[in-house]
Amino acid sequence: MKKEPWENTITLISLLAGIPYIIKKIYVKDYGSAEIISSNREWTSDNGEALILGKEEDILSIPNNSIVEIGNIRKMLQQLYQENKSFVIGNNFYYPFGIEFENNKRLEVPTSLNNIIYYGNRKDLLGVVTKEVYNYVLFNNLDINEEDKEYLISKKKIKKICHY
């Protein structure tokens, strides 16, 4: 299944940041008016899929490939935020779950819907990588595709930043 641009962007940030950063995929149970009941259902990008990128030890307690109630997602992200853990949250609907934290610890990556948000210190590795991807997206193309991923991964500047 072809990934959407917002998924490609988060995947790119993950690839550039490298180990120990991982992506967790969750599905919001109460997204929209429909309720997701069966885990065997054919998933589409418009049914509440969300990706969370962070250090493995920071997001270990977040379940992967599972259906989660929106209130529980907010609690998980709030805890990460309060513990000053850096993370990226993204989905295919506008502003992930209405999460509002301090603006000075937030960077919105400009995709078609502004639906990828970084929270944390912009000077740590995940913050620097997200800012580089942000700059690329802002000046080149709002939607990351496979060619963009290959180009950015090959850039010497980003390699130097990500593998210091």
Q: pLDDT of 87-146, one tens digit each? A: 998 876 644 444 556 655 666 665 555 578 888 888 888 988 888 888 777 777 666 667
- pTM summary value: 0.77
**Greatest Cα-to-Cα distance within the chain, rounded to the nearest angstrom:** 47
Strands of the sheet with 106-109, listed across from one edge: 66-68, 21-28, 49-55, 87-91, 116-119, 106-109
Quote the CA–CA distance of 48 and 35 in Å, as a whole number. 10
Q: What is the mean pLDDT of the chain?
A: 74
Q: Where are the beta strands (DSSP E) in the chain?
A: 21-28, 49-55, 66-68, 87-91, 106-109, 116-119
Quote the CA–CA distance of 89 and 24 in Å, as a whole number. 10
Q: Where are the domains of the chain?
A: 5-162
For residue 40, what pLDDT is reported?
A: 42
Nearest C-alpha neighbor of 4 from the set 42, 51, 45, 40: 45
For residue 114, what pLDDT is reported?
A: 57
> For 22-32, what is each residue's pLDDT tens digit?
999 988 776 55
Q: Which residues of 127-153 are buried (b: 16+ CB within 10 A; e: fewer)?
A: bbbbbbbbebbeeeeeebeeebbeebe
Share of the chain above pLDDT 70, in %: 62
DSSP conformational letter for 42? -
